[in-house]
Amino acid sequence: MIVIGHRGAPAYRPEHTRSSYELAIAAGVDAVEPDLVVSRDGVLVVRHENEISGTTDVADRAEFADRRTTKRVDGEELSGWFAEDFTWAELATLTARERLPRLRPDSARFDGEEPILRLRDLFELVQGRGIRLVLEIKHADFFAALGWDLAALVAAELADAGWTEPVVIESFEPGVLAALRERGVSAEYVQLVAADGAPADLVARFGVAARPYPSFVTPAGLDGLAHEVDAVSLDKALVLADPGVVVAAHACGLRVYAWTCRPENVFLDERFRLGSEPTAFGDWRGEWGVLRDAGVDGVFVDHPDLGVAFFRD
């Protein structure tokens, strides 16, 4: 069972910060997962989304007030400040903030203490420490429309860093994974699968006829994926609803990961919630036990200490 620090240890520090990753590594995780977006000058930036007002202090920076705008990203209209409208030099002046301050006030106590990171910074942080990187590529089709080929950027960054350690590359969009494979990038390729909706790149190409995510986990869908990727990373709701999906994926030769294990009631399947307080811990052991017993090969966790203790027990 591989335990992956989801954006580091975001239960305890603002996600994607150096201290968040350090805490995850200290807890004994096997891997950490950075999300990747791109700056105006083509730097791969470690942020949950390209809209950065929820995870940085950019909204409080008067010099950037005129950068606020509205965009449609993967079919959703968003207003705020976007990484692709800033150079890396500008982004490097920002500090990180807790994305869910009401849910995780202890993490929010560290708002403003650390800068945001580039992928190159994370390479330097984990190199030689026996920690695998799980790179999630965000909004590849959206960025392609702006002229940025994320497959090319990721391939170049790995090459420039001389990165020879194992790496996992995942995305909700199958197109960017295919593009990286075509470039010969050595990695474990993972198709992320949500419980509903469809991949943004397929929607952009086929509209309402785009292949929906649930079709990826049918017997035919899994068999098809086995010719394209090495593993699937499933919304845990899919496994909780039908643990047999793990057996089916394994039968096709695919490894299976599940996301995201969190103990708070608000994130748990309703069968495992205790009481009505969203921030209180529910029966997380019961829920996580279903994933473990289903035979998943790895899990993404926000509380690395809990994840390591539970899944390694």
Q: Where do the structural domains in the chain lie, given as residue ranges?
A: 2-50+114-311
Residue with tokens 């790995």: 158
Tell me: pLDDT of 312 over 90.
no
Mean pLDDT of all residues belonging to the chain? 97
Tell me: pLDDT of 313 over 90.
no
Task: Render pLDDT for 79-93 as a digit per residue (tens, 0 to 9).
Answer: 999 999 999 999 999
**Closest among 81, 77, 88, 79 to 55, alpha carbons compared:** 81
Rounded Cα–Cα distance for residues 188 and 112 (Å): 35
pTM higher than 0.95: yes
Say what the pLDDT of residue 58 is: 98
Task: Render pLDDT for 159-169 as a digit per residue (tens, 0 to 9).
Answer: 999 999 999 99
10 Å CB burial of residue 107 (0-12, 13-18, 19+) is buried
Q: End-to-end alpha-carbon separation of the chain, Å?
A: 10
DSSP assignment string, 24-62: HHHHT-SEEE-EEEE-TTS-EEE-S-SB-TTTBSGGG-G
Task: Render pLDDT for 195-205 as a digit per residue (tens, 0 to 9).
Answer: 999 999 999 99
Task: Render pLDDT for 5-31 as a digit per residue (tens, 0 to 9).
Answer: 999 999 999 999 999 999 999 999 999
| pLDDT bucket at 194, cuts 50 / 70 / 90 | very high
| pLDDT bucket at 206, cuts 50 / 70 / 90 | very high
Please give the structure tokens belonging to residue 282: 């529910």
Rounded Cα–Cα distance for residues 29 and 32 (Å): 7
Are the beta carbons of 195 and 242 closer than 8 angstroms? no
- Class for domain 2-50+114-311, per CATH? alpha beta
